[in-house]
Amino acid sequence: MTSALRIVTLAAAIAAGIVGTASQEAAESPFAGLDGRGIAELIRTDFRPAVTVSASRDIERIISSYARLSEGGYRDYFSTRPATSVRELRYLAVAPVTWWPEATEDRKAAGFDLHNIVPANSDVQSKRSDYPPGELTETVYTNGYWRSGIGVIDGMETNFYEPADELKGDFARIYMYMAAVYPQSLWEGRAPMIYLDGYYPLLTAYGRNTLMKWHRDDPVDEAERCRDEAIAAAQGHGNPFVTLPELAEYIWGTHSDETFPPAEKPDDPKDPDNPENPDKPDTPDQPAGEPIMLKATYSVASDGRIDFRSPYVAAGSTWSLDGKTVDGPSVSLDGISLGRHEIRYTNDRQHGKVIITVEP
């Protein structure tokens, strides 16, 4: 992927089909067999936004889609009091852009990346400043939901802020994402308290211990998944630490000395090696009841069909293959020619396209 910062409106990105193609790349889960260093490198090279959303109306629409509360109002990530309008809120960079060297492409990209942005009231920035996240030993400011103050790192007191307990995992996964996608050879400001210079292992001992604790104590919930899906639909990629939370353990946690395992395939119910089911199936190895998530390359021999399913495309979408509307949740590969084909999808919130290749 080119390193040039690409700024387009969301409407233009959808019209061009960029969103659909990039989301498909993210859906393939290509981490199997990689160690922690390999996982970090793949995130850096393949998970930067395919589209940078810059138009304020598009940013507002995306944030509204995940911050709107069922009981009314909009969620403020730094208050229990909902905002009556999303326009009352400010768009706060979780990892401050001042941590990236000035006048660099990554600094600009970090400021636009919606994975790094949360809606917050106007008082937050002055109270939080550019403090890193941490556990406080002394509170200087609190509104009863989040607080800022003093903590200790390597035996020295310093300034930290501490988000609400129910959001600590959300914030940890944002910091992990920003470290992996935009690593720096020389961090600035207060970043070196939690971020290490270079491409790996990305986090200081303090940063690793704090973020992994928050990551484990506050697992991904439905609200965080909805936020990630909304941003992925706009930018082309989700936060891999939200879609695959276990990745963090393979970079910084209990599996850091192991490689990421491949997806487990259920036993073939008619495998001749299975004495309970001696008959060889006439269909591919993938059981009919288990969907094959949409991917870039299909094999007639091993896949057998295309299932119109993706974690980045809303259920109930309308699908088409090479311009023809699809009836049903899947199509057999037997009647599809080898080579490249175009799949399109549309629903109330998104539409785009995916280019697939069918092989023997």
What is each CA distance from 135 to 61, 97, 168, 257, in whole angstroms? 33, 22, 11, 27
pLDDT of residue 17: 39
Highest-confidence segment of 51-60, 244-253, 286-295: 244-253
**Averaged pLDDT for residues 139-157:** 95
Domain annotation covers residue 292: yes
> Are residues 332 and 302 part of one domain?
yes
Q: Domain of 352?
A: 265-360
pTM: 0.69
For 189, counting Cβ atoms within 10 Å of its Cβ (0-12 exposed, 13-18 middle, 19+ buried), the class is middle
Domain annotation covers residue 2: no
**Averaged pLDDT for residues 341-348:** 82
pLDDT band at 302 (very low <50, low <70, confident <90, very high): confident
> Are residues 202 and 269 part of one domain?
no
Domain annotation covers residue 28: yes
Q: Which of 24-33, 187-196, 232-241 has the lowest mean pLDDT?
A: 24-33
> Are residues 166 and 134 part of one domain?
yes
Number of domains in the chain: 2
End-to-end CA distance of the chain, in Å? Answer: 28
Q: Is 126 helix (H, G, I), strand (E, B) or coil?
A: helix
pLDDT of residue 294: 79
Domain annotation covers residue 170: yes
Q: Which of 211, 243, 275 is the endpoint of a domain?
A: 243
Domain annotation covers residue 256: no
> Are residues 290 and 226 part of one domain?
no
> Are residues 197 and 48 part of one domain?
yes
Residues in the chain: 360
Q: Is 202 helix (H, G, I), strand (E, B) or coil?
A: coil
> Are residues 270 and 184 part of one domain?
no
Q: Which of 191, 208, 243 is the endpoint of a domain?
A: 243
- What percent of the chain stands above pLDDT 70? 82
Residue 60 has pLDDT above 90, yes or no: yes
Residue 248 has pLDDT above 80, yes or no: yes
As beta bridge partners, residue 297 has 357
Residue 28 has pLDDT above 80, yes or no: no
> Are residues 205 and 318 part of one domain?
no
Domain annotation covers residue 1: no
Task: Report which of residues 97 and 4 the model is more confident about.
Answer: 97
Q: How far apart are CA 94 and CA 112, in angstroms?
A: 12
**Averaged pLDDT for residues 5-32:** 44
> Are residues 211 and 331 part of one domain?
no
As beta bridge partners, residue 117 has 93
Residue 312 has pLDDT above 70, yes or no: no
For residue 209, give both structure tokens: 């211990």
Q: How far apart are CA 249 and CA 252, in angstroms?
A: 5
> Are residues 239 and 269 part of one domain?
no
Domain annotation covers residue 282: yes
Cα–chain center distance at 148: 27
Residue 123 has pLDDT above 80, yes or no: yes
Domain annotation covers residue 253: no
pLDDT digits (tens, 9 = 90+) for 171-206: 999 999 999 999 999 999 999 999 999 999 999 999
> Are residues 272 and 239 part of one domain?
no
> Are residues 323 and 180 part of one domain?
no
Residue 317 has pLDDT above 90, yes or no: no
> Are residues 157 and 63 part of one domain?
yes
Q: What is the CATH number of the domain that holds 337?
A: 2.60.40
